[in-house]
């Protein structure tokens, strides 16, 4: 497993705008940092659980059908390149509605299962960073643990910006350049995946 590439992938996928981060921004603005911590914990425990569930199913399938693993990995790489382009061109729009109360732990955790970006992140991470020849499922747990360790600071960052940097976030240029920077990191994280696919 390419650890550096995995970390870059996690930082780019967890740090870019999406349903979770937009909701954290809104919660930080409307409810403050402390009251929104349950929301953060729900995301960063619920999502690794989702990664484990996805990982065990896919790993079993890939052991039986290695060609499917290669095909889906190629599709995943192409999609990630498309996603990087979409992130770089993402318009600055925040449409999340104000809520009377912040998300609870369970609400945030269960939200991952209906979050399209969470599904893309989980499947892409498993496809890109697990080996079809592996006889153990430890790689899945490593990915889940890495998301917990490196995803949590990303969530706290977005919550902090929502609670303390609302004025800065309203500036279109700030979000535009942030999106382009994270898109570049996402592309860099794909390079090792492309190299390993060509070798195969």
In eight-state DSSP terms, residue 51 is H
Domain extent listing, the chain: 3-199
Express each pLDDT in 60-110 by its tens digit.
676 687 787 677 667 767 877 886 787 688 665 544 444 457 889 999 998
Q: How confident is the model at residue 41 (pLDDT cuts 50, 70, 90)?
A: very high
**Using CA atoms, how far apart are residues 188 and 200, in angstroms rounded to an integer?**
20
Express each pLDDT in 141-193 by its tens digit.
999 999 999 999 999 999 998 888 656 656 667 767 766 876 787 688 777 76
**Is 1's pLDDT higher than 60?**
no
Higher pLDDT, 54 or 151: 151
pLDDT score, position 65: 79
- In the 3-class helix/strand/coil scheme, how is 150-200 assigned residue by residue? HHHHHHHHHHHHHHHCHHHHCCHHHHHHHHHHHHHHHHHHHHHHHHHHHHC
Express each pLDDT in 6-19 by its tens digit.
999 999 888 887 77
Higher pLDDT, 59 or 124: 124
Helices (H), the chain: 3-15, 19-31, 37-64, 66-88, 105-111, 116-129, 138-164, 166-169, 172-199
The pTM of the whole model exceeds 0.85: no
**Using CA atoms, how far apart are residues 95 and 18, in angstroms rounded to an integer?**
11
pLDDT score, position 92: 55
For residues 13 and 154, the answer to whether their CB atoms sit within 8 Å is no
Q: Work out whether the CA dihedral 51, 57, 61, 64 comes out positive or negative.
A: positive
pLDDT score, position 135: 46
**Is 52's pLDDT higher than 60?**
yes
**Is 26's pLDDT higher than 90?**
no
């Amino acid at each position: 497993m390419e650890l550096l590439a995995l970390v870059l992938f996690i930082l780019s996928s967890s740090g870019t705008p999406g349903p979770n981060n937009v909701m954290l921004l809104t919660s930080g603005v409307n409810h403050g940092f402390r009251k929104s911590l349950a929301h953060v914990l729900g995301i960063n425990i619920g999502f690794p659980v989702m990664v484990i569930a996805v990982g065990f199913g896919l790993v079993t399938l890939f052991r039986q059908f290695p060609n499917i693993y290669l095909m889906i990995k190629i599709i995943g790489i192409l999609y990630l390149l498309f996603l990087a382009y979409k992130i770089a061109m993402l318009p600055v729009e925040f449409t999340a509605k104000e809520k009377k109360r912040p998300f609870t732990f369970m609400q945030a955790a269960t939200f991952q299962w209906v979050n399209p970006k969470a599904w893309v992140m989980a499947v892409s991470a498993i496809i890109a960073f697990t080996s079809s020849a592996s006889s153990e499922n430890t790689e899945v747990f490593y990915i889940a643990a890495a998301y917990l360790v490196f995803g949590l600071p990303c969530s706290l960052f977005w919550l902090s910006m929502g609670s303390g940097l609302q004025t800065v976030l309203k500036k279109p240029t700030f979000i535009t350049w942030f999106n382009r920077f994270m898109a570049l990191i996402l592309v860099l994280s794909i390079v090792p995946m492309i190299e390993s696919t060509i070798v195969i």
